[in-house]
Amino acid sequence: MASFEWFLARKYFRAQRRNLSSGIIALFSALGVTLGTWLLIFVLSAINGFEGEVKNQLMGKDAHIEVSRHQFAPFTGYDSLRLEVLKEPDVTAAAPFILSKTVISRGKNQDGILVYGVDSALARTVIGIPETVRRGRFGLDSLADSTGRRFPGMVLGYALASRLQAVVGDRVFLADFSHADFLGGNFAPRIQTFVVSGTFESGMYQYDESLAYISLAAAQKLFGLPGQITGLQLRVRNPYHSAQIGEALEERLGFPYRAIDWQAKNYTLIKWMGYEKVLVGLALGIIILIAAFNIISSLVMAVNDKTREIGILRAMGSTRRGILRIFVYEGMLIGIAGSAAGTALGLLSYWIQKQFGLIQLPGDVYFVTVLPVELHVWDVVLVLVVTNFLCGVATLLPAFQAARLDPVEAIRNE
């Protein structure tokens, strides 16, 4: 019986193309499903591509894990701590650092920034910033300015350097107010002169506009932390396991140490990217929902056109459930045809963008010049399942209408 109902569903589906009114509605229904499926697959691949690029930037430029004390309290004896951390099998490199907020100035330009004091040799093993220096070099040792006087070197983000109107070889000043006694009337900050040795362009604007790197020794002097650091930066074998590695390190080191991985540091950004994917999916899903309503209209017209035939089928012994299945199958054929065409177009668009990069992006706005795409098989499966589920649900109302028709009344009215 099921094969007979499937046969009639296909026959009615083909007959719709010869009926102008219902055929046009069915065509637009299939086109709506095609468009929605196509856009969903391609846009989701673009979101995946951007998410992958952002995570690669975060993992490549920043340390995978930062070990520090609670409230970022400075501490000594960091060489022994570094050796202890390196005993963890998944940790491949560790480097000491000092992190502090400070004020940077050049001429009339001032700004509040974050300054990392690092060991230039060890830092290269844990962060990717040294490889992103576009002008000058990653040099934190003593450098000569335009007058020949020597000062410690500093590396700035290109956006920060642009705001300060500073170029390689210029002198800049850092001011530390952490030891100023405002209640006692001592407003004098510690001020230290540096020479810009290079500017980096990490691809992460929040880094490029707010970070500067100086030597560990210069940071200890500026912030009054002789022989002290505020933490260790670590590199691990698998960055996606950094949260578990951080927990293992906290158990190994005990209180008051804590380990914060790159995902926890960028929790808001990563969470927002996940929400963005859901919201975009829901927005584009409206196209499929509208197409599903068109399927309802198409099937309602098909039921009205086939009233006499439905009555004859019922009189010949077809059950209400059989009639129901005929129109459900017919509606789902529209959904299957549309989703199959949309999937083919989505996969083709993904392949073309992946191979030829036709969609370009402005490099001064984004950290990539070509729209990145990354296809997840489960995204495609989910799109197909949801699309055909909505189309299937849309068939129920007209299918129930057809199944409720009384055979005698259906034949008499015709």
Quickly list DSSP for 45-62. Answer: HHHHHHHHHHHHHHHHHS
> Which pLDDT band holds residue 381 (cuts at 50, 70, 90)?
very high
Helix, strand or coil, per DSSP, at residue 7: helix
> Which pLDDT band holds residue 359 (cuts at 50, 70, 90)?
confident
> Going along 80-167, which residue ranges are E strands?
91-106, 109-118, 133-136, 142-144, 150-157
- Contact, 125 vs 93, CB < 8 A? yes
- Type of residue at 65: I
pLDDT value at residue 2: 56
What would the pLDDT profile of 140-151 be if each residue is shown by its tens digit? 988 887 788 899
- Contact, 167 vs 144, CB < 8 A? no
Helix (H) / strand (E) containing 197: strand 190-200
What value does the mean pLDDT take over residues 359-365? 71
* Residue 141, number of CB atoms within 10 A of its CB: 12
Task: Output phi, psi for 194, to 5 deg.
Answer: -135, 160
Tokens of 387: 């699309």
Among 97-111, 326-340, 346-360, the range scoring the smallest mean pLDDT is 326-340
Per-residue pLDDT for 312 more than 90? no
- Contact, 61 vs 203, CB < 8 A? yes
Sign of CA dihedral 263, 265, 267, 273: negative
Per-residue pLDDT for 19 more than 60? no
Q: Tell me whether residue 330 is exposed, middle or buried, using C-beta atoms within 10 angstroms of its C-beta: 0 to 12, 13 to 18, 19 or more.
A: buried
Question: What residues form DSSP beta bridges with 118?
Answer: 97, 215
Angle at the Cα of 77 (from 73 to 80), degrees rounded to 5? 125
pLDDT value at residue 1: 47
What value does the mean pLDDT take over residues 194-206? 88
215: alpha, beta or left? (left if phi > 0; alpha if psi -120 to 50) = beta
Percent of the chain with pLDDT over 70: 86
- Residue where the block lists tokens 């960028």: 266
Question: What residues form DSSP beta bridges with 105?
Answer: 110, 173
369 DSSP assignment: S
Per-residue pLDDT for 363 more than 80? no
Among 16-20, 245-249, 398-402, the range scoring the smallest mean pLDDT is 16-20
Q: Which of 223, 226, 237 has the alpha carbon at shortest distance from 179?
A: 223
Per-residue pLDDT for 253 more than 60? yes
Tokens of 81: 């701590």
What's the Cα-to-Cα distance from 261 to each of 197, 234, 256, rounded to whole Å? 29, 9, 17
Which residue ranges make up each domain of the chain? 2-58+269-413, 74-255
Tokens of 289: 């929902």
pLDDT value at residue 306: 67
241 DSSP assignment: G
pLDDT value at residue 329: 81
What's the Cα-to-Cα distance from 331 to each of 21, 96, 216, 373, rounded to whole Å? 16, 65, 70, 33
| DSSP assignment string, 289-300 | HHHHHHHHHHHH
| DSSP assignment string, 305-334 | HTHHHHHHHHHTT--HHHHHHHHHHHHHHH
CA distance 139 to 196: 9
pLDDT value at residue 115: 95
What value does the mean pLDDT take over residues 384-401? 83
- Type of residue at 75: F
